Chain A
Amino acid sequence: MFYIIRRLLLLVVTIALVSIITFAVFQILPGDPVRTMLGTEADETQIESLRNELGLNRPLHEQYVDWIKGLFTGDLGNSIRFSMPVSTLLMERLPVTLSVASMALIIVVLVALPLGIFVAKRQKKFSDVVLSSVTQLGMAIPSFWLGMILILYIGMNVDFFKISGYIPWSESIKGALSTLILPALTIAIPQIAVKFRYVRTSILEQMQLDYVRTIRSKGLPEKIVVYKHILKNALIPILTIFGLITAEVVAGTIIVEQVFALPGIGQLLITSISYRDFPLVQGIVMYITITVVFINFVVDILYSVIDPRIRLR
């Protein structure tokens, strides 16, 4: 219990620190939100009136304190650029990013797990070496180039795929899939490369353990050895890994949304930074951080439940 409380405390501290870092960055960020938004056509009258109205003439630390106060009442404030609540904007963009991220995650699980087991079983065979090299390559490709290649060779040639934009699930499931599969693949491919190696390594580690030898010596079929015993025990590190890639998948969506012109959180983030939209940036960064930190927290807890020795670390 003490472990969980400590972890929870650390979680809150981390989130607070992230928020303070964001705030500190904005404190020294050159550029003015109102001017950026109104552009060259605005005269000083319009700039001043908008600035007063938005309360931007107050010192930033005051704005930040207000923002913190709002946070406790569940109010993330209003976006400067879009003149509407940050939470509304987040809710509109969330389905896109969440869909891409979860699809990517599912693809990673579906491919990396069997692949890792397959390779672990064929240890010391040539395919192992080949696969290792191929995966290194997968990790080395910049995701946006991979996206362009997928557009060029799959998107342009297969009618099913749309290479830009987003069609909501509610409109057409097929349409949504046609816009989401390629971006999800773009994120998933490098992650598969990394994660299948982890799967392989943890299974190999289990295989070398004494209990496996004992079971084997009892003459159980290899299939049962692998799936029932080894896989079960190897699940702990594998679970952790999938917890960890969530962060990378979420980060991956930011670039991929640009390549495929998907209106998700990542696009919104880039817009909000360039418009110096402090409430919106804070809102998005907080949202992403909380998701990532929370998933890691859950994974950590699960881990410690499964293997109490972890807590001693």
Chain B
Amino acid sequence: MRKYAKNINLILGSLILFVFLGMMVVSFFYTPYDVNSMDIPNKLQEPSSKHIFGTDEFGRDIFSRILKGSQTAFIVGALTVTIGVFFGVLIGGIAGYVGGWIDEIFMRFMDALMAFPGIILALMLVAVFGPGIINTSIALGIIAIPSIARVTRSGFVQQKEAEYVTASKLIGVQSYKIMFKHILPNISSQIIVAASIAFAIAMLAEAALSYLGLGVQPPDPSWGRMLKDAQAYLIASPWYTYAPGGAITLLVLGLYLLSNAIRDMMDPRSNS
């Protein structure tokens, strides 16, 4: 049964992710309607065969915007994770490998970043960088750094006493080579898990920022922003929230399932 559950995680997780990736690829070439073209007399139409998710307050096709929104989601997620992983691995690696006071300084700084509830830091950083896809990703990337740095650091601390590291040191391999060529591949699965969780968290955080009116800005379709817009019509057109809300939930779910599956695969002892 347990094995079966693990497989479910893997199958379901990758299925969801592939569907969304497929949506994103398709959206580059085709959407049923132009994502931005307005048809104000036909605003807020309920889902129908013509518009399967209905139309928004400008009469734009919600389904097309959900499709296009997957681009925003993946760009924000990927950029956030790239920034988080790059700096996280760098900081965590150095802290873990070098140790001593550098470790202390780096990690205390990371602690401070983590002590901020993420959303507060995101609010302040977005105020600094301004809204928009890239700026939101930078802000969320900075927030993702500490958790990845922690994972990396503990990995490096464990590995640096390993025999292969001692051996490399003895034959005079340069430190940065040991760090990134020898140790890093050994802890890559932990980092991948942390990164996929960071991806999921970035999705939720982007949605939250956009909900507060600070994240991705129009006319870029963003699921979080669509939810915010939908809230104004919550009572009269409740169906408006389903598509963007469902899209966020599903994609995040897929990422969580996948990260669980990866963790189970690399660590047979853990039971998700």
Contact = CB atoms under 8 A, between A and B. Distances in A.
Interface of A: 10, 13-15, 17-18, 21-22, 25, 28-31, 124-126, 128-129, 132-133, 136-137, 139-145, 148-149, 151-152, 156, 197, 201, 204, 247-248, 250-251, 254-255, 258-259, 269-270, 273-274, 281, 285, 288-289, 292-293
Given A133-B8, A142-B248, A149-B241, 13 more contacts: A14-B115, A29-B127, A129-B4, A132-B5, A145-B207, A145-B248, A148-B234, A197-B272, A247-B117, A254-B117, A255-B119, A273-B123, A288-B117
Contact of B249 (A140, A269, A285): A140
Contacts of A255: 119, 208, 211-212
B227 A151 contact: no
Category for how many chain B residues contact A: 35 or more
Contact of A129 (B8, B116, B125): B8
B197 to A, nearest CB: 10
Q: Across chains A and B, which 5 residue pairs bring their CB atoms closest together, nearest first?
A: A251-B117, A17-B112, A140-B252, A140-B253, A145-B245
Contacts of A270: 123, 212
A137 B115 contact: no
A74 B257 CA distance: 48
Interface in B195-228: 200, 204, 207-208, 211-212, 224, 227
Chain B interface mostly helix, strand, loop or mixed?
Answer: helix
B249 A137 contact: yes
Chain A interface mostly helix, strand, loop or mixed?
Answer: helix
13 contacts: A14-B115, A29-B128, A136-B257, A140-B253, A142-B207, A142-B224, A251-B119, A254-B120, A273-B123, A274-B127, A288-B117, A292-B115, A293-B115
B5 A129 contact: yes
Contacts of B248: 140-142, 145
Contacts of B250: 140
Contacts of B200: 140
B241 A148 contact: yes
A263 to B, nearest CB: 16
Contacts of A250: 117
Query: Which of B116, B117, B204, B250 is packed against the most chain A CB atoms within 10 Å?
Result: B117
A1 to B, nearest CB: 21
A60 B139 CA distance: 23
A201 B271 contact: yes
Nearest to B124: A25
Given A148-B234, A254-B120, A269-B123, A126 B1 contact: yes
